[in-house]
Amino acid sequence: MTIVIFLGVLLGLMAIGMPISFALILTGVALMVQLDFFDAQLLSQNLVAGADNFPLMAVPFFLLAGELMNAGGISRRIVDLAMTLVGHLRGGLGYVAIGAAVLLASISGSAIADTAALAALLIPMMRAQGYHIGQSAGLIASGGIIAPIIPPSMAFIIYGVATDTSIIKLFMAGIVPGLMMGAVLVMVWTRTARKGVAPVHARVPAGERLRAVGRAFWALMMPVIIIGGLRLGMFTPTEAAVVAAVYALFVGLFIYGDLKLRDFPAIFVTAAKTTAVVIFLVAAALFASYMITLADLPRLVIDLFDPLLDNPRLLMFGMLVFLTIVATAMDLTPTILILGPVLAPLAVAAGIDPVYFGVMFVMVGAVGLLTPPVGTVLNVVAGVANIRLEAAISGSWRYVVGYTLLLVLFVLVPDLITIPASFLR
């Protein structure tokens, strides 16, 4: 009965269009009523405790760094660099989008921010040069979801907080899978470009390539500083977020000069609004998670997967199928906050590496950003490109298939994640 109330209230409220944060709070209240101990003070205390978490301080600073990066010209110089290096290939702007997506992922950590930046910069160029816009939009959306995998990743920060997993280990473990996601995009786009959806452009002279590298030097140093500092133990993920924001501010203001004082109010307001949404969602989800624990729902889920506990690989397949279904209907952050604390202990009990499981969990949730009915990243790119959502879906399904096959490969060969991560930690 408890699980019926939980799913019925949550899905019912989402179905009528209630914001997920409020739906989670009311779902927790419904569980309180079902357990016959409604307590407003307990509700408020859990909401405050959910937001009052030091590692979550990384979220507003990484969001601010992303806004400063876009306004300060860092994103544009990364795209220009990729254009000079691979723009001469057939479908060169597609390879530019992939290269820029991987580089931006190592700076911002937000799928929505990266997708919006790439779409705003590249969609007009692709449209002007005769690219198939549906295919181009699907590629850019698929590149945007690399951001939650390559550090610094806000999804890993939230997962680490929710499941008490080392955030630094998650960061390091995400590097190789993120690069392999980029390789999947290259393979799929190469096949797509050969079918004539993209033109060929002239090769950029070597001198111009060197100048582009010079212009992008300070932008390229940002991920080096962040990842290098984390790897060497110079700062924590929260401190890394502050370093990223200060570095983006300094480069945009004093080196590139694209950032103006008049831009600051809009930048800070946008970052603050996004931060408020994310932190409130985290607080609401952790309250719901607290009530889920009191209602003993984790035991019910464990009982569901209990026959698979003796076979970790089969258990991973089962949980990934379950997460895939959930991710089509729920955004990445609430998926992490609701199911992470439930499934992570189950994975550990079955002998699955908790960092490996965290990477797989976030990857499945990220791919869910490309699938309807929610498809957050698809909605972003469709809005920027001013095309129907169906066109973006049509352009992205090949990449969803490619990512799914990559996930299956990681289940069959976990060492592809665990071995590189052991060297990087």
Calculate mean pLDDT across residues 308-316.
86
Report which listed range, 164-173, 241-250, 380-389, 405-414, is most confident.
405-414
> Nearest-CA neighbor of 97 among 74, 80, 72, 73?
80
Residue entry with tokens 């129907």? 388
Question: What is each CA distance from 401 to 95, 112, 142, 181, in whole angstroms?
Answer: 19, 21, 11, 12
Determine the Cα–Cα distance for residues 5 and 35; give it in Å rounded to an integer: 11
Q: What is the pLDDT of residues 218-242, one digit of tens each?
A: 888 888 888 788 777 787 777 888 8
Find the domain containing 373 and state its range.
2-424
44: its two tokens: 């408020």
Calculate mean pLDDT across residues 75-101.
81
Residue 202 has pLDDT above 70, yes or no: no
Determine the Cα–Cα distance for residues 315 and 295; give it in Å rounded to an integer: 24
Residue 351's contacts (CB-CB under 8 Å, 6 or more residues apart) are: 312
Three-state secondary structure string covering 21-53 = HHHHHHHHHHHHHHCCCCCHHHHHHHHHHHHCC
* DSSP helix/strand/coil, 63: helix
Residue 174's contacts (CB-CB under 8 Å, 6 or more residues apart) are: 149, 150, 151, 153, 156, 359, 362
Determine the Cα–Cα distance for residues 222 and 249; give it in Å rounded to an integer: 11
421: its two tokens: 């991560």
- Higher confidence at residue 164 or residue 75? 164
pLDDT at 196: 61
Calculate mean pLDDT across residues 321-345.
84
- Higher confidence at residue 46 or residue 2? 46
How large a percentage of the chain has pLDDT more than 70? Answer: 95
Residue 70 has pLDDT above 90, yes or no: no
Average per-residue pLDDT for the chain: 84
> Nearest-CA neighbor of 384 among 186, 144, 199, 152?
144
Instruction: Go through 228-266 and write b for each residue having 16 or more CB atoms within 10 A of its CB, e for each that does not.
Output: ebbeeeeebbbebbbbbbebbbebbbeebebbeeebeee
% helix, strand, coil for the chain, step of 5: 80, 0, 20
Q: What is the pLDDT of residues 341-383, one digit of tens each?
A: 888 988 988 889 999 999 999 999 999 888 876 677 887 888 8
How large a percentage of the chain has pLDDT more than 90? Answer: 18
Determine the Cα–Cα distance for residues 55 and 182; give it in Å rounded to an integer: 28
What pTM, to 2 d.p., does this model score?
A: 0.80
Calculate mean pLDDT across residues 244-270.
88
Determine the Cα–Cα distance for residues 26 and 212; give it in Å rounded to an integer: 52
The answer to whether the CB of 87 falls within 8 A of the CB of 204 is: yes
28: its two tokens: 């927790």
Determine the Cα–Cα distance for residues 257 and 340; give it in Å rounded to an integer: 42
pLDDT at 8: 82
Residue 133 has pLDDT above 90, yes or no: no
pLDDT at 201: 64
To the nearest 10 degrees (0 to 180), the angle between helices 133-144 and 111-128 is 160
Number of domains in the chain: 1
pLDDT at 354: 93
Half-sphere exposure of 262 (CA within 13 A, CB side): 1
The answer to whether the CB of 103 falls within 8 A of the CB of 129 is: no
